[in-house]
Structure 1
Amino acid sequence: MYNLGNLLWHSDSSFKPAPAKYSMLHARVIPPAGGETEFADMRAAWDTLPEAMKETVRRLVCEHSLIFSRAQLGFDDLTKEQKARCAPVPQRLVRRHPGSGRLSLFLSAHIGRVRGWPVPRGWR
C-alpha cells in the first residue's frame, strides 16, 4: 500500500501527524534515458501566487489521508481497523520555514479535503 504512493505527486508522510522533515532518494538502477523523479519548489509556488489568492489560502488547514490518496489508485478495500489507523490528519496549507522564514505551500496527493470548504461531488 505504501509503495503505491510513488505513482502520485506527494509530500512524504504528510498523512502522519509529524510529516517527514527530510526526504532522500536512492537510485538502485538508473535507466539509460534517466529517471522520472520530479521536484517542485513550493516556496516559488507561494511566491508567484497573486496577493488575493495568498490571503484566501494563508490560514487554510487540509486533511491529509493515506486512505484518500490510495483510493485514487483503486486501493480502497480496507478494514475498519486499517481506516482507524490511517485517519486523516490536519496540516497547514501554508508553512513558514523556521530557518529562512520563507513561506511555502504544503501540497500533496494525500489531501482529501480542505477544512471549511465543501467537498466536491463524487469525492469520498
Structure 2
Amino acid sequence: AAQTIIDQITLLTQPPTNARHFLVLDDYGRGSESTAGDAFKQKYFTGLFTLSKKISGFKVAFVDFKTIWSGVLTSTPGFKAFGYTSSGACTVNSSSTVGECSDPAHTFYWIPGHPSKETHRIMADYVEEVLTRCH
C-alpha cells in the first residue's frame, strides 16, 4: 500500500501536472501504534526520501495526526485540555441522529471514528502549523 501511494505521487510529478509540492496527512492508528503501521510509515518515508533525491524541487510536508490523537485520547488531562467534554462520539452511527448528544461542539468524534467539526478545526490548525514550520 505504501508503494502504491509513492507510485501515485511519482505519477503526479510527471507531465502534464509536474507537481513538486505535496502534503501528506497521516491518521493511522488514531492514537494507537502497531508494528505493521510503523513498517508502513517507514516504507512511505523511505519512498518519499528517494523521490526527494531524484526529482528536482520535490518537497513534502508530513502531518502526523498521532500528536492530536495521543494528546486527546491517551494523556492526562487529555480531551479536557482541548475543551472537550467527551473523547467519544456524539452519535451512535452514521445512519441516524437519534440519541445525538446535546453538545456536539465538545465531543472529539461526530460518529465513532470520524472527527467532529471542532476536531476538524483543530486538525486544520495543526496542518497550518506544520506547513508554517516546514516552509
TM-score by length of 1: 0.27
TM-score by length of 2: 0.26
For CA contacts below 8 A with separation 6 or more, give which structure has more relative contact order: 1
Question: Which of the two has greater helix per residue?
Answer: 2
